[in-house]
Amino acid sequence: MHLIWLNLIPNLVLLFTGNFKEVPLDDDYFLQQSVWEAIGVATAESGKTVPSAFGARVPNIAKEKHYFTAETWSFWSLYLAPALLHRRFQNAAYYKHFLKLVKLIHICLQFEISSNEVAQLRTGFREWVTEFESLYYKSDPERLSTCPVTVHGLLHIADSIETSGPVWTAWAFVMERYCGSLRPAIRSRRFPFASMDTYVEEKAQLSQVKLVYNLGTHLALSPQASDVKKGEYVCEAYPKCVLMPPKTWQALNEVPRLHHKVAACLATRFNVSISVAKKVVPVDAIEQWGKVRRIDGGDTMHARELVPLREGNRDASFVRYQLLVDTHARNRRLEAHFEVQNFFGQLHRIIVLRLEPSNDIKLEQPVTLFLAAIQRAKADIVNIDGMRYYKDMGDVEVVDLASVQCVIGRVKTPSGLWGIIDRSGPMANAEFVSEW
């Protein structure tokens, strides 16, 4: 943690801004003051389009760098910098070199790391350090200060992972959070250490009592959080989704083309025509919800048409969702071959559709469906950093709410594109069952 977030990345920023010790300012990696100030403004503005689930707002890096912590340095370098530094350097080699570091760090932060990935880290960091010396040190003894020991420390990361396991098993975040929890325990100014020792001892004793006598629930110091609170709604067919207020009732035909979109969703689901599907879609006012939360620590997502974005709030309406796409759709002669693909868009509405048995769609039992109306982002642009970008929004489509996985963040680039920040990784994927 300290090696990269509190040393390496801040040192790179000092190099980019011409503030690293006595290094000359005429290098092609130096960013002009106006450019760096624009990056700082964009960094601060990203707080509006990055949900709170991603952590604290990142301050203006040009003017408030002293407020940065290891967490904010991490988020800025991994998710904001690849978009904000694009086309900012006179020599693109510096940007590509920075992206190599970002990709290596992403591997380090994985929950599980294979032996092949450890070998990739060993080779990757060795090449990155060699290139760093070529780009910044330039074999000039007067520039020796650009090569601190923290750069050399990168060469030992792969060995440390082989010895201790993934980075998260040994980093300092956990210990620093624990140290922060000890501050309230200091009740005596005269004997601070004795007060803290007593607190640690009593807490350890309480933990052992809970384990030995299985009294974790009875001796909990704080009330147990419930997955479903008053006013929320859960359906057995969607065990991972909790619908949250506001709740409203509205007819689908009151919203332009929404009735048709819902019918199209049912037509795909039950393998019937849209005209047949329209027969089973209720014409009366139906139940709609403004928020949905994924159970077991998942994100809370907002339906923007029912939950307006207020001044100062952070946008949590953009989501990632997964659909099965027929790769042979353009060639009807070939048998359908479905693959899971990721899509991104803004959640507009959450619809609860209760269908009665119907011969038209071959439905034998009543069923409750959670549907999501999403305006898809045309994220067809992929930069060399692997980040997806979009400029325009597409049409609204209605999909099953189970396919919606998590919220995403966005950051606006100097060229006017929106970079998509998706840090969910392989742990958040939809499950497609054969019944449908």
| 376 touches 345 (CB < 8 A) | yes
Q: Are residues 179 and 250 in the same domain?
A: no
Domain-located, residue 433: no
Which regions in the chain score pLDDT beneath 70?
A: 1, 25-26, 221-227, 328-329, 384-385, 425-436
Q: Are residues 105 and 44 in the same domain?
A: yes
Nearest partner of 372 among 238, 179, 200, judged by Cα: 238
Domain-located, residue 223: no
Q: Are residues 150 and 295 in the same domain?
A: no
In whole angstroms, how far apart are CA 26 and each of 17, 32, 91?
11, 10, 13
Domain count, the chain: 3
Domain-located, residue 152: yes
Q: Are residues 107 and 187 in the same domain?
A: no
Q: Are residues 348 and 392 in the same domain?
A: yes
The pLDDT value given to residue 385: 67
The pLDDT value given to residue 427: 41
Q: Are residues 187 and 162 in the same domain?
A: no
Q: Are residues 247 and 206 in the same domain?
A: no
Q: Are residues 181 and 94 in the same domain?
A: no
| 343 touches 315 (CB < 8 A) | no
Phi first, then psi, for residue 39 (nearest 5°) are: -65, -40
Domain-located, residue 365: yes
Domain-located, residue 142: yes
The pLDDT value given to residue 128: 97
Question: What is the distance between the alpha carbons of residues 257 and 399, in angstroms, rounded to a whole number?
Answer: 15
Q: Are residues 201 and 124 in the same domain?
A: no
Q: Are residues 256 and 188 in the same domain?
A: no
The pLDDT value given to residue 436: 36
Q: Are residues 248 and 161 in the same domain?
A: no
Domain-located, residue 315: yes
Give the model confidence (pLDDT) of 211-261 as tens digits.
Answer: 998 887 777 766 666 667 888 999 989 988 999 999 999 998 888 889 999
Identify the domain containing residue 257 by its residue range: 233-427
Domain-located, residue 209: yes
Domain-located, residue 432: no
Model's pTM, two decimal places? 0.86
Q: Are residues 146 and 186 in the same domain?
A: no
